[in-house]
Amino acid sequence: MSTLDSDQNVRPTLSRRDFLRYAGLVSGGLALAACSTAPAAKSPTSLPAAPGVTAATVPGTTNAASLGKAVIAYAGGACEAPTFVAYERGFFQAEGLEPELIALEASTLKEALAAGKIDGLQQTADSIKSIEQGLGIRITSGLHKGCIRLVAGVDSGVKSIADLKGKAVGVHVFGGLPQVLVQWALSDAGLDPIKDVTFKIFPPPQLEAAVQKGEVQAFAMYDPFPAIALNNKSVVQIFSTHDNAPYKDMYCCFVGIAQGVVDQQPQKAAAITLALQKAAYWVSQNHAEAAKIMTTKKYVPASEELLTSLLKLYDYVPSVGIGKLNFLKYAEVLKQVGVLEKDTDPAKLTDLAVVAVTPEFVPGSAQAPGGAVAEFPAHLVRELYAASPLVTCGPDHALGHSHAVSQFYCNVS
Model confidence band, residue 106 (pLDDT cutoffs 50, 70, 90): low
Mean per-residue pLDDT for 191-208? 93
Q: In the prediction, which pLDDT does 263 show?
A: 94
**308 or 16, higher pLDDT:** 308
Cα torsion through 187, 188, 190, 193, rounded to 10: -10
Say if domain 24-146+249-365 classifies as CATH 3.40.190.10: yes
Q: Residue 352: pLDDT above 90?
A: yes
pTM above 0.85, yes or no: no
Q: Where is average pLDDT lowest: 55-64, 190-199, 204-213, 342-351? A: 55-64
Q: Where is average pLDDT lowest: 135-144, 182-191, 264-273, 333-342? A: 333-342
Domain boundaries, the chain: 3-14+147-244, 24-146+249-365, 373-413
Model confidence band, residue 63 (pLDDT cutoffs 50, 70, 90): low
Q: In the prediction, which pLDDT does 83 show?
A: 96
Model confidence band, residue 64 (pLDDT cutoffs 50, 70, 90): low
Model confidence band, residue 110 (pLDDT cutoffs 50, 70, 90): low
Q: Residue 40: pLDDT above 70?
A: no
CATH number corresponding to 3-14+147-244: 3.40.190.10
Q: Residue 280: pLDDT above 80?
A: yes
Tell me if domain 3-14+147-244 and domain 24-146+249-365 are identical in fold: yes
Mean per-residue pLDDT for 55-77? 70
Q: In the prediction, which pLDDT does 261 show?
A: 94
Q: Where is average pLDDT lowest: 38-47, 59-68, 113-122? A: 38-47
Q: Residue 130: pLDDT above 80?
A: yes
Q: Residue 169: pLDDT above 80?
A: yes
Q: In the prediction, which pLDDT does 296 show?
A: 94
Mean per-residue pLDDT for 363-377? 37
pLDDT above 70 covers a percentage of the chain that reads 70
d(CA 337, CA 180): 8
Q: In the prediction, which pLDDT does 367 show?
A: 33
Q: In the prediction, which pLDDT does 288 show?
A: 95
